[in-house]
Amino acid sequence: MKDLEHYIAAADVDLNEDLPLFRALSSPRSVTKVWRHGLSYIRAREIIKDGFRDTTDVPSISLHSLRAGGATTTANAGIADRLFKRHGR
């Protein structure tokens, strides 16, 4: 959880805003300007594949795999559907 808290502080994300948590930056190495729109599908896929590069067969990883797996894990943990569906906005 500390990584998420660090990201929120560094990106100056206001959790009370109805905006995507993970948003595009004005430049790849900048946190001075966070855009109001979310990451593109392609950029999110690049980040995920780069993160898993040393741990698994990267071509088999997709964003949908993570979304479906996250939803299954959440449901198995007993979280109400209405709570985790809200995160999809």
Judge if 48 and 35 occupy the same domain: no
Judge if 71 and 82 occupy the same domain: yes
**pLDDT score of 79:** 83
Number of domains in the chain: 2
Judge if 33 and 48 occupy the same domain: no
**pLDDT score of 27:** 64
**pLDDT score of 32:** 59
> What count of other Cβ atoms lies within 10 Å of the Cβ of residue 24?
17
pLDDT tens-digit readout, 1-57 = 688 888 788 777 888 888 888 877 766 565 556 677 777 888 888 888 887 788 777
Q: What is the pTM of this model?
A: 0.50
Judge if 18 and 52 occupy the same domain: no
Q: Hey, what are 41's tokens?
A: 């599908």
How far apart, in whole angstroms, are the C-alpha atoms of residue 24 and residue 79?
A: 29
Judge if 62 and 76 occupy the same domain: yes
Judge if 11 and 51 occupy the same domain: no
Residue ranges of alpha helices (H) inside the chain are 2-10, 41-52, 63-76, 81-85
Judge if 58 and 31 occupy the same domain: no
pLDDT tens-digit readout, 70-85 = 778 888 888 887 776 6
